[in-house]
Amino acid sequence: MLRLLALLLLLANGGYYAWSHGLLREYGLGPVQQAEPQRLAQQMRPEALRLLSAEDALRAEAPASAAARPAECLAAGLYTEPQAAALRQALGTAALPVGSWSLEPASEPARWIVYMGRYANLEQLNRKKAELRQRNVVFEAPGSAALEPGLSLGSFDSQTAANLRLELLSQRGVRTARVLQERAEVRGLQLRLPLVDEALRLRLDVLKTALAGKTLRPCK
């Protein structure tokens, strides 16, 4: 009985093998073919296909991103004459195209603030902050360390504008504030790159040290 069962299993396995491999197709027996030869016939130059590495893919995308990012005007500064001399040398090392940059005289206006302080200690400072919050008066730390501990109630490009702010604050009960010049007018040289495209932007990395910590920003 066991021999008969083993023989039947052997025949069944052999029959399945012949059926699954198409050996019985001439007798009308066999699995449904999944191949689609018509798609192979429609292929266009399949030998030209190749897999891209991650680096190749980024390089292929670069022209598209460059085209999507228009050229822009960038500026940095202000610079003193010694800083400007170092910057000119770096610009020469970078071999930027003629006319792609200039160092132009520029200035930053004086800055005036409405100021409260200096306070003897942090306890006095925090008490004054609490009073200003009750009056809904906005404040911040002054930009100069020499004015700490103190409070700035507004920053302005002219003394006239600062005086006007002080008058409005006085009407709201702020009595001990005063107008103070936080910074005098600063003159120097500004680096200006009027037309920075993607190709020029890649060459600006060599200027990082010469920029003296200043950032290239869109021109005003």
CA 85 to chain centroid: 29
What is the residue extent of each domain of the chain?
A: 71-105+188-218, 111-183
Class for the domain spanning 71-105+188-218: alpha beta
Same fold, 71-105+188-218 and 111-183: yes
Q: How far apart are alpha carbons 176 and 166 in whole angstroms?
A: 10
Per-residue pLDDT at 119: 95
Longest dimension (CA), the chain: 115
- Using CA atoms, how far residue 210 sits from 25, 62, 70, 86, 198, in Å, is 80, 28, 26, 6, 21
In degrees, rounded to 5, the angle at the alpha carbon of residue 108 between the alpha carbons of residues 191 and 69 is 45
Q: Which fold has domain 111-183?
A: Alpha-Beta Plaits (3.30.70)
Per-residue pLDDT at 47: 63
Per-residue pLDDT at 66: 46
Per-residue pLDDT at 17: 66
Q: Percent helix, strand and coil across the chain, each rounded to 5? A: 45, 20, 35
Q: How far apart are alpha carbons 119 and 27 in whole angstroms?
A: 105
- Using CA atoms, how far residue 87 sits from 77, 93, 137, 164, in Å, is 11, 10, 43, 41
Chunked into runs of 10 residues, the chain (220 residues) has average pLDDT values of 68 66 63 59 64 62 58 91 90 84 92 95 95 95 92 94 96 94 92 90 82 89
